[in-house]
C-alpha cells in the first residue's frame, strides 16, 4: 500500500487541537482540519482531522500515538478512525491493542 488517507474524529471537540498538534510533530504525516456542516436540528457543525501518511509504517506511528493521547485527557475521550468504509473507535478499553486496530484499518478483521 503506497500512502493512505483517513479521517479522525475526537469525541471531545476541545481535545481535537491537541491531537492535531501531536500528529503534526510526526515527520511525513500531513494533517488538515475540516469543518463539518451541522447535523439536522443542530446549530453548530463539528470538525474532523484529515490525515495522510505515505506508508503503512507511518500509519502505525499515528495509531500508536492514540493510546497516550486518550490516557492524557482528564475526561474520557474516544477517537474514531475512518478510511475506505472501515471505522474503528479507539477508547481506553481497546487503545493498547494496536495490532487489532491496524488489522481492522487494513481490512484484515
Measure the CA–CA gap between 27 and 93, rounded to whole angstroms. 28
* Domain count within the chain: 1
Cα 83 to Cα 63: distance, rounded to the nearest angstrom: 13
Which range is least confidently modeled, 5-9, 42-46, 47-51, 84-88? 42-46
Q: For residue 25, how many other CB atoms are within 10 A of its CB?
A: 9
* pLDDT value of residue 1: 43
Domain that holds residue 58: 4-36+45-106
Residue-averaged pLDDT of the chain: 86
State the CATH number of the domain containing residue 62.
3.30.70
What is the pLDDT at residue 2? Answer: 57
For the entire predicted model, the pTM comes to 0.81
Which among 108, 74, 80 is positioned nearest to 94, based on CA atoms? 80
In the chain, % of residues over pLDDT 70: 97
Q: Per-residue pLDDT tens for 37-71?
A: 877 777 777 889 999 999 988 888 888 888 889 88
Q: What is the mean pLDDT of residues 4-12?
A: 91
Q: Looking at residues 88-102, what average pLDDT do you find?
A: 81
Amino acid at each position: 500500500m503506497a500512502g493512505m488517507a483517513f479521517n479522525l474524529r475526537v469525541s471531545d471537540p476541545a481535545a481535537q487541537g491537541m491531537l492535531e498538534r501531536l500528529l503534526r510533530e510526526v515527520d511525513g504525516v500531513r494533517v488538515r482540519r475540516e469543518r463539518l456542516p451541522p447535523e439536522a436540528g443542530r446549530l453548530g457543525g463539528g470538525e474532523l482531522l484529515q490525515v495522510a501518511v505515505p506508508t503503512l509504517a507511518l500509519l502505525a506511528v499515528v495509531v500508536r500515538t492514540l493510546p497516550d493521547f486518550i490516557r492524557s485527557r482528564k475526561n474520557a475521550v474516544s477517537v474514531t478512525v475512518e478510511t475506505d468504509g472501515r471505522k474503528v473507535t479507539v477508547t481506553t478499553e481497546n487503545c493498547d491493542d494496536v495490532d487489532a486496530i491496524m488489522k481492522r484499518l487494513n481490512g484484515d478483521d
